[in-house]
């Protein structure tokens, strides 16, 4: 399993609109090939900063299958106007399971 972590800074004052867009986009992720889970977390210290966590079966499910889909374009249409700057995205995999 691969975990995609996207740090997303939104324009101040657009937090509610961004969260609404992510809520509307949840079905796009749910039906994406290899997508296992998706959730959005909001920073307490920086309320305009979010982290999107998406679990994928494979890296290619995100970087090839999803990014080349019309659902990806719809995702971007729903939220990209809220971005302060392009999201910072990285992919990680479990190294140690603590408990």
97 in any annotated domain: no
Per-residue pLDDT of 8-32, as tens digits, reads 999 999 999 999 999 999 999 999 9
| pLDDT band at residue 1 using 50, 70 and 90 as cut-offs | very high
81: domain CATH number?
3.30.70.100
Per-residue pLDDT of 20-75, as tens digits, reads 999 999 999 999 999 999 999 999 999 999 999 999 999 999 999 999 999 999 99
99 in any annotated domain: no
Domains contained in the chain, number: 1
User: pTM of the prediction?
Assistant: 0.95
85 in any annotated domain: yes
C-beta contacts of 48-51 below 8 A and 24+ residues apart: 48/9, 48/10, 48/11, 48/12, 48/15, 48/84, 49/7, 49/8, 49/9, 49/10, 50/7, 50/8, 50/9, 50/10, 50/18, 51/5, 51/6, 51/7, 51/8
């Amino acid at each position: 399993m691969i975990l995609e972590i996207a740090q997303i800074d939104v324009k101040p004052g657009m937090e509610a609109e961004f969260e609404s867009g992510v809520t509307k986009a949840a079905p796009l992720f749910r039906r994406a090939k290899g997508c296992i889970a998706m959730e959005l977390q909001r920073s307490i210290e920086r309320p305009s900063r979010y982290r999107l966590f998406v679990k994928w079966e494979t890296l290619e499910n995100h970087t090839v299958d999803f990014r080349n889909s019309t659902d990806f374009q719809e995702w971007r249409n729903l939220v990209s106007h809220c971005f302060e700057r392009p999201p910072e995205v990285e992919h990680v995999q479990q190294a140690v399971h603590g408990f």
